[in-house]
Amino acid sequence: MLAGVASLWAGSFALDQTFRSHFRNMSSSDADLLQHVSYASVGVAAASLYIFLTRLRPLRLMAQSK
């Protein structure tokens, strides 16, 4: 899972210049929407990780020890 997140993060940096060259003429409303979607996805990812680490993982460990 960590490798997948790392590769996604590295890929986003690699694609940055490609997207910049294609979206130079993007309207400000489209740019704002894209920014809000990216912020929301980071929030969802952080919340998912928190839930996994605090709720689901301890339950799995308890089930495996029985």
Average pLDDT for residues 6-23, to the nearest whole number?
79
Q: What is the 3-state secondary structure (H, E, C) of 22-33?
A: HCCCCCHHHHHH
SS3 call for 66 = coil
Q: Give pLDDT, residue 40.
A: 94
Q: Give pLDDT, residue 61.
A: 64
Q: Residue 66: pLDDT above 70?
A: no
Per-residue pLDDT tens digits for 16-57: 777 777 778 888 898 899 899 999 999 999 999 998 888 877
Q: Give pLDDT, residue 60.
A: 66
